[in-house]
Amino acid sequence: MLKLKMYIDGKWKESISKKTQDVINPATGEVIAKAASGNAEDARIAIETARKTFDSGIWSEMPNSERASFLFKIADKIEEISEELIRLETLDNGKTFRESGYDVSDAAECFRYYAGLITKMDGQTYSASETIQTIVIHEPVGVCGLIVPWNHPFLMCAWKIAPALAAGNTIVFKPSEMTPITATKLFEIIEEVGIPDGVANLVMGPGREVGNEISTNSLVDQISLIGGTNTGRQIMKAASENITNISLELGGKSPNIIFSDADFETAVDYALYGIYFGSGQVCSAGSRILVEESICQEFTEKFIERAKQIRVGTGDNPDSEMGPLVSHQHMESVLNYIEIGKEEGAHLACGGYRLEENGLDSGYFIAPTVFTHVTPEMRIVREEIFGPVAVIQSFKDEKEAIYLANHTKYGLAGSVFTNDSAKALRVIKKVRAGITYINTYHQGFVQAPWGGYKQSGIGRGLGTFGLQEFQETKQININLQVEPVGWFEN
Ligand code: NAD
Helices vs. strands in the chain: H and E counts, helices first:
15, 21
**Ligand 1 centroid vs 100 CA: distance in angstroms?**
19
Q: What is the crossing angle of helices 82-93 and 181-192, to 10°? A: 150
> 399 in helix, strand or coil?
helix
Distance between CA 147 and CA 153 in Å, rounded?
A: 11
| pLDDT at residue 159 tops 90 | yes
Q: What is the pLDDT of residue 200?
A: 98
- The answer to whether the predicted template modeling score (pTM) of the entire model surpasses 0.85 is yes
Q: What is the crossing angle of helices 64-80 and 181-192, to 10°? A: 130
Enumerate domains of the chain plus CATH numbers.
Answer: 2-250+456-476 (3.40.605.10), 255-438 (3.40.309.10)
At residue 21, what are phi and psi to the nearest 5 degrees?
Answer: -125, 135
> 94 in helix, strand or coil?
coil
Identify which of 37, 147, 209, 455 to mutate to test ligand 1's pocket (most ligand atoms within 8 A of the CB): 147
Q: What is the pLDDT of residue 34?
A: 98
| pLDDT at residue 490 tops 90 | no
What would the mean pLDDT of 294-314 be, rounded to a whole number? 98
User: What is the average pLDDT score of the chain?
Assistant: 97
DSSP string, 131-200: SEEEEEEEEE-SEEEEE--SSSHHHHHHHHHHHHHHTT-EEEEE--TT--HHHHHHHHHHHHTTPPTTSE
- Could you give the angle at the alpha carbon of 53 between the alpha carbons of 48 and 57, nearest 5°? 145
Q: What is the pLDDT of residue 121?
A: 83
For residue range 300-309, list pLDDT tens digits in order. 999 999 999 9
Beta-strand ranges (E) seen in 143-219 are: 143-147, 170-174, 200-202
Handedness of CA 235, 9, 204, 75 (dihedral sign): positive
| Structural contact between residues 137 and 28, judged by C-beta atoms closer than 8 angstroms | no
| Ligand 1 within 6 A of CB of 179 | no
| Structural contact between residues 206 and 63, judged by C-beta atoms closer than 8 angstroms | no
Q: pLDDT above 70 covers what percent of the chain?
A: 100
**Confidence label for 252 from pLDDT (cuts 50, 70 and 90):** very high
| Structural contact between residues 404 and 384, judged by C-beta atoms closer than 8 angstroms | no
Q: What is the pLDDT of residue 356?
A: 95
Q: What is the pLDDT of residue 1?
A: 86
What would the mean pLDDT of 317-327 be, rounded to a whole number? 97
For residue range 108-156, list pLDDT tens digits in order. 999 999 999 999 988 999 998 999 999 999 999 999 999 999 999 999 9
Distance between CA 490 and CA 486 in Å, rounded?
A: 8
What would the mean pLDDT of 362-378 be, rounded to a whole number? 98
| Catalytic pick among 144, 157, 283, 350 | 283
**Ligand 1 centroid vs 251 CA: distance in angstroms?**
8
For residue range 183-220, list pLDDT tens digits in order. 999 999 999 999 999 999 999 999 999 999 999 999 99
Q: What is the pLDDT of residue 128?
A: 86
For residue range 399-437, list pLDDT tens digits in order. 999 999 999 999 999 999 999 999 999 999 999 999 999
For residue range 58-115, list pLDDT tens digits in order. 999 999 999 999 999 999 999 999 999 999 999 999 999 999 999 999 999 999 999 9
| Ligand 1 within 6 A of CB of 324 | no
**Confidence label for 334 from pLDDT (cuts 50, 70 and 90):** very high
| Catalytic pick among 249, 292, 384, 469 | 249
| Ligand 1 within 6 A of CB of 449 | no
Identify which of 92, 154, 177, 231 to mutate to test ligand 1's pocket (most ligand atoms within 8 A of the CB): 231
| pLDDT at residue 476 tops 90 | yes
Nearest to 412 by CA among 364, 452, 363: 452
| Ligand 1 within 6 A of CB of 147 | yes
Where helices occur in 168-320 by DSSP H, the ranges are 181-192, 212-216, 229-240, 264-276, 293-309
Does 283 participate in catalysis according to the annotation?
yes
Q: What is the pLDDT of residue 67?
A: 98
| Structural contact between residues 439 and 237, judged by C-beta atoms closer than 8 angstroms | no
| pLDDT at residue 379 tops 90 | yes
Q: pLDDT above 90 covers what percent of the chain?
A: 98
Ligand 1 atom nearest 231 alpha carbon: 2
